[in-house]
Amino acid sequence: MKFIDESKIEVIAGNGGNGAASFRHEKYIEKGGPDGGDGGRGGSVIAVADRNINTLVDFRFARMHRAKNGESGRGADCYGKGADDVILRMPVGTVITDINSGQIIADLTHDGEKIQLAKGGLGGLGNLHFKSSTNRTPRQCTPGEEGERRELQLELKVLADVGLLGMPNAGKSTFIRAVSAARPKVADYPFTTLHPNLGVVRVSEEKSFVIADIPGLIEGAAEGAGLGHQFLRHLARTRLLLHIVDLAPMYEGVDPVHEAHAILNELKKYDESLYNKPRWLVLNKLDLLQDREEKVAAFLKAFGDNTRYFTISAINGEGCKELTYAIMEHINQVAAQEQDAIAESAQETGIEIYDPTA
């Protein structure tokens, strides 16, 4: 399936049916009075988050989504039938923005979450609503309301706990293959990853986390060079970034320190908040180094950053298990801090928190 993470659509809700102006006419019954029914409600357009969908490809060509109008009311107190809603199933992690106003309408972060994108119009009132002691033959009725119409931008931000950063061919895909069941393409040339890959890393029977691999960054990515800048948005939800550095580049003259700094510069240009996320260095391809300790020490000295670091060889799994344990510990700490912050905020505002495990 082609990976699509952006799309523009138009949603049109149905109009409400018109109310009817009618009077009861039966044999032997004079002045039966008004009996015009109301119009039916127009159908709405509703988005539903579905964890079984991984891409916005369904909206690549189906750009317009229109709900039906409600039926008009009729005589004999017959109300018009309301139209069915149109359900649009989208991947978990989809951000929906109104193109005209720029307002974010919804951020679908949970499976089954629903949001109304366009509200159907209410049905008009029949003349039976207008009868009174002074107006016994009302001839007025109201038309149905028009349904809402919106142009929307859909943007998919994948949900992952950990995101991988690095130059092309740094070993990100090899690493995600080593620690999870994901099988992204791996080859001895750059840009083998053309779209994000997700892998579930299971540390124990009860503990696991999701890791995201995006196409490699190159210098100038923030200005549009390469592929990685198109997918940096997928790292926005992560709790930790792993900056994978190739300590044994395949081409002579390539400086790992320069490439590592280039990645950070591009990250900072793209999004300051992304740059400020917790970030660890992962020094890869130790299996290709003869004097690994000296190379690691030289890199860290030249890099000049006190960032926490790990040394691994993704091709044979060396150091990967220790790294995954450290990641799991970090994620648990962050999750606990988030829960404490939510509880503190709820206590200040007096909002009761629902615990699904209770």
**Tens-digit pLDDT profile for residues 17-26:** 999 888 887 7
Q: Is residue 354 part of a domain?
A: no
- Cα maximum dimension of the chain: 109
108 within a domain of the structure (yes/no): yes
For residues 181 and 145, state if they share a domain. Answer: no
Q: What is the CATH number of the domain that holds 102?
A: 2.70.210.12
Residues 42 and 184 in one domain: no
DSSP 3-state of 59: helix
When divided into structural domains, the chain yields a total of 2
pLDDT score, position 190? 44
Q: What percent of the chain has pLDDT over 90?
A: 22
Q: What is the pLDDT of residues 5-45, one digit of tens each?
A: 788 999 999 999 999 888 887 777 777 788 888 999 999 99
Whether residues 203 and 282 fall in one domain: yes
Considering the domain boundaries, does residue 356 fall inside one?
Answer: no
In a domain, 144, yes or no: yes
- The CATH number of residue 332's host domain is 3.40.50.300
- Rounded to whole angstroms, what are the CA distances from 46 to 322, 331, 338, 343? 45, 33, 30, 31
DSSP sequence for 124-173? PPPGGGG--SS-SS-----PPPPPPEEEEEEEE----SEEEE--TTSSHH
Q: Could you say which of 156, 182, 215 is where a domain stops?
A: 156
| 221 and 260 inside one domain | yes
Q: Please indicate, yes or no, whether the overall pTM of this predicted structure exceeds 0.85.
A: no
Do residue 192 and residue 311 come from a single domain?
A: yes
DSSP per-residue letters across 271-313: -HHHHTS-EEEEEE-GGG-SSHHHHHHHHHHHHT----EEE-B
Question: Does residue 274 sit in the same domain as residue 215?
Answer: yes
pLDDT in tens, 325-343: 999 999 888 888 877 776 6
Q: Are residues 145 and 193 in the same domain?
A: no
Which one of 106, 130, 156 terminates a domain? 156
How far is residue 145's CA from residue 120's CA, in Å, rounded to a whole number? Answer: 8
Over residues 187-218, the pLDDT tens digits come to 444 444 455 677 888 888 778 888 888 765 55
Are 192 and 235 members of one domain? yes
State whether 173 and 312 are in the same domain: yes
What does the mean pLDDT of the chain come to? 81
Q: Which backbone phi and psi does 296 adopt, to 5 degrees? A: -65, -45
Closest CA to 245 of 309, 159, 194: 309
> Do both 135 and 217 map to the same domain?
no
Distance CA 258, CA 244 (A): 13
Tell me, yes or no, whether 277 and 308 share the same domain. Answer: yes
Q: Counting beta carbons within 10 angstroms of the beta carbon of residue 152, is it exposed (0 to 12), middle (13 to 18) or buried (19 or more)?
A: buried
Same domain, 47 and 145: yes
Domain assignment present for residue 357? The answer is: no
Query: Edge to edge, what strands does the sheet with 94-98 contain?
Result: 64-66, 6-12, 149-156, 94-98, 104-107
pLDDT on residue 68? 94
φ, ψ dihedrals at 206, nearest 5°: -110, -5
Residue 299 lies in a domain: yes
Q: Which domain holds residue 265?
A: 162-344
**Which residue, of 115, 136, 156, is where some domain finishes?**
156
Give the β-pairing of 104-107 and 197-202. Answer: unpaired
Asked whether residue 163 carries a pLDDT value surpassing 60, the answer given is yes
223 part of a folded domain: yes
Would 349 be classed as within a structural domain?
no
Rounded distance between C-alpha atoms, residue 280 and residue 306, angstroms: 10
d(CA 4, CA 1): 9
Whether residue 307 contacts residue 326, with contact meaning beta carbons closer than 8 Å, is answered with: no
